[in-house]
C-alpha cells in the first residue's frame, strides 16, 4: 500500500519535465536502446564517460560501442544492455569495459532495466553507467599510502622498542643481579593484563612500562644500588625512593613515552597508601602501576640478589597472598596467583 506521500512522489515522477531534468543533470551516463539494440537516446554525462569515446552514438548498435574488457563468462550476453534486452531481467553489476575504438579499460557500475509498453512487451532497455575508475585509482593510491605509512610506523615502533631496550640494558649494566629483571617484569605485567581481559594495546603499554619501570635508577649512585639491602641507611633509602620520579624526568622529553609516564611514576605505591613517591591509595593508583607492583615484587622475590638467594615459588606466592590488600591490589594479586599456579610463569 502506498501512503499519500508515496502517491505524490509517484505522481511527480510521472511528469516528463521532471524526468528530463533528472536525466539531463545526472552525473551518471544514461543510455537507451530500442528492441533491436540500437541507441536511441543518451545524456550529456554519457559523452564524458570514458567507456564511450565516440560522441556520435545515435542509431548505432550498442554492441559496437561498448564491450567487456575481458571475455565474458556468459558468452551469450557480452553486453549488459543486450543481456537485459534478451532476458528481460534488470541488472546491477560492476564490470570492466572498453570501447571498440579505443583499447582503454574502465571500471563501471552498471544498472539496466527493461522498458515495456502498456502490453508488457519489452521495447528497449535503459542503462545507467557510473565510472568507478578514478575512485578505484584513488583508493589504490590511498591503500599504497597506508601501506607505506604502516611500514614507516613499524620501523618507528621497532626503533622505539630498541630505545627502550637500550635504557633497560643501561640499568642492567649497573647491577648484574637485576640483569633480566626488567624483561621479566614486562612479561609478567603483559600476562596479567591478558588474564584481566585488557586489550592488546593496554597489555603492550604494560609491557613497555615494565621494561622501563626502573629507568630512574640510572640517576641512583652505583654504590647504593649494589649495597646490601639490610645495610641501607635511611638517607640512602630516600635516594632509592627517588628513582620513579627520575624515570619520569628522563622519559617525559620523549613524545612516544607519554602513555607510560604515570605507570612508571607510581609502580612503588602501595594499595594501603603507604608507598612512594606520592602515597596514593587503592584505585587512585594507576591500574597498570598496580599490575607492575605485583610483577615487580614477584620477580624480585624469585631472583637471586646480592643480599639473598631467590625465594622458592611457593614462598613468593605466599608473600603476595599475605600482602594482598595492603601492598597489592586484591584483584591483580588474585589474578597473578592464579596465573602462576595454573601454568608455569615466564622464565
Report the CATH number that the domain containing residue 333 is assigned in CATH: 1.10.3210.10
User: Is the pLDDT higher at 322 or at 250?
Assistant: 322
**121 and 170 co-located in one domain:** no
Within-domain flag for 266: yes
In this prediction, residue 43 has a pLDDT band, given cuts at 50, 70 and 90, of: confident
User: Is the pLDDT higher at 77 or at 147?
Assistant: 147
Q: Looking at residue 67, what is its pLDDT?
A: 58
Residue 309 C-alpha cell reads as: 638467594
**237 and 297 co-located in one domain:** yes
Within-domain flag for 151: no
Q: Comparing 1-15, 205-219, 283-297, 313-327, which segment has the lowest mean pLDDT?
A: 1-15
Q: Which ranges of 14-101 would DSSP assign to H, the alpha helix?
A: 16-25, 44-47, 80-87
- pLDDT at residue 272 tops 90: yes
**201 and 93 co-located in one domain:** no
Within-domain flag for 305: yes
Q: Looking at residue 4, what is its pLDDT?
A: 53
**89 and 215 co-located in one domain:** no
Within-domain flag for 245: yes
**112 and 186 co-located in one domain:** no
**113 and 240 co-located in one domain:** no
CA distances from 49 to 20, 23, 38, 54, 110 (A): 19, 15, 19, 10, 12
What is Dmax (Cα atoms) for the chain? Answer: 106
pLDDT (mean) for 32-38 = 92
Within-domain flag for 143: no
Q: Looking at residue 100, what is its pLDDT?
A: 47
Q: pTM for the whole thing?
A: 0.54
**211 and 284 co-located in one domain:** yes
Judge contact between 325 and 272, C-beta under 8 A. yes
Residue with cell 599490575: 291
**167 and 286 co-located in one domain:** yes
**112 and 253 co-located in one domain:** no
Q: Looking at residue 291, what is its pLDDT?
A: 97
Within-domain flag for 98: yes
Number of structural domains, the chain? Answer: 2
Residue with cell 586484591: 330
Within-domain flag for 142: no
Judge contact between 291 and 189, C-beta under 8 A. yes
Enumerate the β-bridge partners of residue 68.
97
Q: Looking at residue 75, what is its pLDDT?
A: 47
Q: Looking at residue 2, what is its pLDDT?
A: 47
Within-domain flag for 155: no
Q: Looking at residue 288, what is its pLDDT?
A: 96
In this prediction, residue 1 has a pLDDT band, given cuts at 50, 70 and 90, of: very low
Residue range 125-167, pLDDT digits in tens: 999 988 887 788 888 887 887 777 767 656 665 666 666 666 6
**9 and 64 co-located in one domain:** yes
Looking only at the bridges linking them, the beta strands covering 39-42 and 91-98 are: unpaired
**11 and 97 co-located in one domain:** yes
Residue 345 C-alpha cell reads as: 610463569
- pLDDT at residue 344 tops 70: no
CATH at residue 70: 3.30.450.20
Residue 18 C-alpha cell reads as: 521532471
- pLDDT at residue 347 tops 60: no
CA distances from 118 to 2, 10, 33, 205, 329 (A): 22, 18, 18, 71, 80
pLDDT (mean) for 232-261 = 85
Judge contact between 35 and 54, C-beta under 8 A. no
pLDDT (mean) for 280-303 = 94
**176 and 319 co-located in one domain:** yes
Range of the domain at 265: 160-342
Burial class (CB in 10 A: 0-12, 13-18, 19+), 35: middle
Q: What are phi and psi of 120, to 5 degrees?
A: 85, 5
Amino acid at each position: 500500500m502506498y501512503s499519500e506521500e508515496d502517491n505524490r512522489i509517484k505522481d511527480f515522477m510521472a511528469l516528463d519535465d521532471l524526468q528530463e531534468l533528472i536525466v539531463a543533470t545526472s552525473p551518471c551516463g544514461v543510455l537507451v536502446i530500442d528492441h533491436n539494440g540500437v541507441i536511441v537516446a543518451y545524456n550529456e554525462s554519457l559523452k564524458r564517460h570514458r567507456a564511450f569515446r565516440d560522441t556520435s552514438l545515435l542509431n548505432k548498435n550498442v554492441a559496437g560501442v561498448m564491450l567487456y574488457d575481458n571475455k565474458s563468462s556468459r558468452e551469450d550476453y557480452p553486453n549488459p544492455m543486450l543481456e537485459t534486452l534478451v532476458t528481460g531481467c534488470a541488472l546491477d553489476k560492476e564490470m570492466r569495459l572498453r570501447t571498440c575504438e579505443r583499447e582503454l579499460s574502465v571500471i563501471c557500475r552498471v544498472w539496466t532495466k527493461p522498458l515495456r509498453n502498456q502490453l508488457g512487451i519489452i521495447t528497449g532497455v535503459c542503462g545507467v553507467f557510473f565510472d568507478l575508475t578514478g575512485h578505484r585509482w584513488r583508493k589504490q593510491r590511498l591503500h599504497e599510502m597506508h601501506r607505506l605509512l604502516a611500514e614507516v610506523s613499524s620501523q618507528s615502533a621497532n626503533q622505539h622498542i630498541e630505545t627502550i631496550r637500550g635504557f633497560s640494558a643501561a640499568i642492567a649494566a649497573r647491577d648484574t643481579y637485576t640483569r633480566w629483571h626488567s624483561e621479566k617484569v614486562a612479561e609478567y605485567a603483559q600476562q596479567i593484563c591478558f588474564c584481566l581481559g585488557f586489550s592488546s594495546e593496554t597489555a603492550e603499554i604494560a609491557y613497555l612500562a615494565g621494561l622501563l619501570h626502573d629507568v630512574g635508577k640510572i640517576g641512583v649512585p652505583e654504590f647504593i644500588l649494589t649495597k646490601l639491602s639490610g645495610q641501607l641507611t635511611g638517607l640512602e633509602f630516600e635516594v632509592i625512593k627517588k628513582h620513579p620520579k627520575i624515570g619520569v624526568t628522563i622519559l617525559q622529553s620523549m613524545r612516544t613515552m607519554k602513555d607510560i609516564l604515570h605507570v612508571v611514576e607510581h609502580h612503588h605505591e602501595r594499595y594501603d597508601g603507604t608507598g612512594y613517591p606520592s602515597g596514593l591509595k587503592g584505585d587512585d593508583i594507576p591500574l597498570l602501576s598496580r599490575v607492575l607492583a605485583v610483577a615487580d615484587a614477584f620477580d624480585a622475590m624469585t631472583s637471586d640478589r646480592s643480599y639473598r638467594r631467590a625465594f622458592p615459588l611457593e614462598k613468593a606466592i605466599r608473600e603476595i597472598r599475605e600482602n594482598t590488600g595492603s601492598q597489592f591490589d586484591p584483584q591483580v594479586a588474585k589474578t597473578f596467583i592464579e596465573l602462576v599456579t595454573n601454568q608455569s610463569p615466564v622464565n
